[in-house]
């Protein structure tokens, strides 16, 4: 099979689709990289609205009293420091640990190290939800790679296409898996970066193979 035999109009359309998929993945990866770098930087100012506070006022509201939520807010506003953690530690132990303990509901919420990234992560609401990390890693990235592979790479005339398709699936699975296990925690960095690099490499390779099949002259 080859894409080269398609009429010129369809080849141009395929080219645009593949470039658009690659660009969309690039934008998503850039958003994720920006988030990783911000999470990694020391001395972050607290966000205008923290994910932790948004969750406590939203889905987790039944698990806290308004007074307890105010304590979390004060801790976040003061920079979510280790010293200040004492003011919310008893609430975490009494109200959260039963569900968010080891092996329980993700994210794990037991210690300062678990709470701090959530406190410093800006809440995503409304339109920003589209670029929410959960959506990008679990849905958008796998979908973009899958569409490029299934719609175009599969039909390209290239002996290694199956291997590259498998590589694309693995890269997407690795990235989704590492995000799921880290759940907003900045460490370990290497897991995040390998996920991003693998995804970018897989998409560039897929796009390159498809474009070569579309436009390079027959070798004989
Ligand atoms: C009765 C069990 C239970 C208790 C107690 C509980 N949670 Fe949760 N929590 C859950 C479940 C179930 C989810 C997943 C539901 C969801 O994401 O909508 C969740 C999700 C979360 C999330 C991720 C949601 C997101 O969108 O980012 C955070 C953060 C969180 N809880 C914080 C807390 C905090 C802080 C406390 C203590 C004040 C707490 N939870 C107490 C069951 C619980």
pLDDT in tens, 18-47: 999 999 999 999 988 877 776 656 666 677
Task: Name the region of 211 (left: φ>0; alpha: ψ -120 to 50; beta: rest).
Answer: alpha
- Give the pTM: 0.63
Q: Please give the mean pLDDT across all residues of the chain.
A: 87
pLDDT for 48:
79
Given a cut of 90, is residue 168 above it in pLDDT?
yes
Mutation probe of ligand 1 site: the residue of 60, 103, 123, 124 with most atoms within 8 A of C-beta: 60
Q: Say whether pLDDT at 51 is over 80.
A: yes
Nearest to 71 by CA among 47, 48, 95: 95
Atom of ligand 1 nearest to the CA of 51: 27
Radius of gyration of the chain (CA): 22
Assign 217 a pLDDT band (cuts: 50, 70, 90).
confident
CA 75 to chain CA mean position, Å = 27
pLDDT of residue 117: 86
If you measure from the C-alpha of residue 182 to the centroid of ligand 1, how many angstroms do you get, rounded to a whole number? 15
CA of 3 relative to ligand 1 center, distance in Å: 48
Confidence class for position 147, pLDDT limits 50, 70, 90: very high
For the chain, which residues make up each domain, given as ranges?
8-41+128-215, 51-120
Check pocket membership of 133 for ligand 1, CB cut-off 6 A. no
How far is Cα of residue 29 from the mean position of the Cα atoms in its chain? 8
Name the closest-CA residue to atom 43, ligand 1: 99
């Amino acid at each position: 099979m080859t894409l080269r035999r398609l009429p010129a109009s369809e080849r141009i359309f395929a080219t645009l689709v593949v470039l658009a998929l690659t660009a969309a993945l690039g934008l998503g990866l850039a958003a994720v990289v920006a988030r990783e770098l911000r999470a990694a930087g020391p001395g972050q100012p607290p966000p205008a609205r923290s994910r932790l506070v948004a969750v406590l006022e939203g889905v987790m509201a039944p698990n806290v009293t308004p007074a307890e939520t105010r304590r979390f807010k004060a801790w976040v506003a003061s920079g979510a420091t280790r010293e200040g953690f004492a003011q919310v530690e008893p609430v975490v132990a009494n109200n959260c640990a039963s569900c968010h303990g080891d092996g329980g509901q993700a994210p794990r919420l037991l210690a300062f190290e678990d709470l701090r990234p959530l406190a410093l992560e800006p809440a995503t609401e409304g339109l920003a939800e589209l670029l929410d990390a959960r959506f990008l890693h679990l849905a958008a990235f796998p979908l973009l790679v899958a569409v490029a592979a299934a719609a175009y790479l599969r039909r390209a005339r290239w002996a290694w296409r199956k291997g590259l398709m498998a590589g694309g699936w693995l890269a997407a699975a690795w990235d989704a898996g590492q995000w799921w296990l880290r759940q907003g925690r900045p460490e370990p960095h290497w897991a995040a970066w390998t996920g991003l690099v693998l995804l970018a490499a897989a998409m560039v390779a897929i796009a390159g193979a498809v474009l070569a099949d579309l436009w390079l002259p027959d070798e004989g």
